[in-house]
Amino acid sequence: MLPNYEIYCVKYAERPGLRPAHFLGGDPHDAPMPMDYYVWLVRNSERMLLVDTGFDANMAINGRVLLRKPVEGLALLGVKGEDIQEAVITHLHNDHVGTFYDFPNAHFHLQDREMQYVTGRHMKHHIFRRPYEIDHVAGMIRLVYQNRVIFHAGEAEIAPGISVHHIGGHTMGLQSVRVHTQRGWVVLASDASHYYEHFENDRCFPLVYHVGEMIEGFATLRRLADSIKHIVPGHDPLVFKRYPAVSPELKGIAARLDLEPHY
């Protein structure tokens, strides 16, 4: 019998925006469409796993508003940076790996293809390298030499009831995380789908390495999740409208994704 995990979505930053900026080819409606920034904590009585590490004040650029460092958000759940022994890095964009140094005891799960991508020929081109920071890439390479990076090639079970799945599309090595919970299999899409609208309507986010992989990735998310309501996008403010807060004090800061959403 598979164990169940609790999943906590922790908001650490936000950014204003308009709809045309979030869809490949634009959008006819020039309406507001803000973006939220999250990290995710997966845990039960036996195990604890962090998904992504967010960014810090140095990356609060281009309209981003840092509300709290990810480690500060986790502290509100009673978790210290030193407590994290294991983390999944869905991809190495600066808003997903930027505070890896706040988790000194963690081993990091990463796809082979993401490391290949960030150290290979594609980084000659500004369109691909823009969301990466060379210090983050170099930091992850240093962790490889410290034997703190666990590489995967595609799909892998990293614990009973938790698996990673290569999706690609947004970046060459993007991976999503599948977690078994009391309500079934939940998929943390990360940037495989920034917003609900992307996977619900097969529309692409404009920052993309491979459009075909991104579209096929939506089908993969639907296959891995128990239902469309079990897919959690990576940046959509609707997540906090649909899922219950951890507590009244943490409303707008931390939500429970293992509980039933309200649509």
For 19-45, write each residue's pLDDT tens digit.
Answer: 999 999 999 999 999 999 999 999 999
Per residue in 219-253, pLDDT tens? Answer: 999 999 999 999 999 999 999 999 999 999 999 99
pTM: 0.98
Percent of the chain with pLDDT over 90: 99
Q: Which fold has domain 6-256?
A: Metallo-beta-lactamase; Chain A (3.60.15)
Separation between Cα atoms, residue 67 and residue 117, nearest integer Å: 30
Q: How confident is the model at residue 263 (pLDDT cuts 50, 70, 90)?
A: confident
**For residue range 44-54, what is the model confidence (pLDDT) as tens digits?**
999 999 999 99
The distance from CA 261 to its chain's CA centroid, rounded to whole angstroms, is 19
Q: How confident is the model at residue 95 (pLDDT cuts 50, 70, 90)?
A: very high
pLDDT (average), residues 55-76: 97
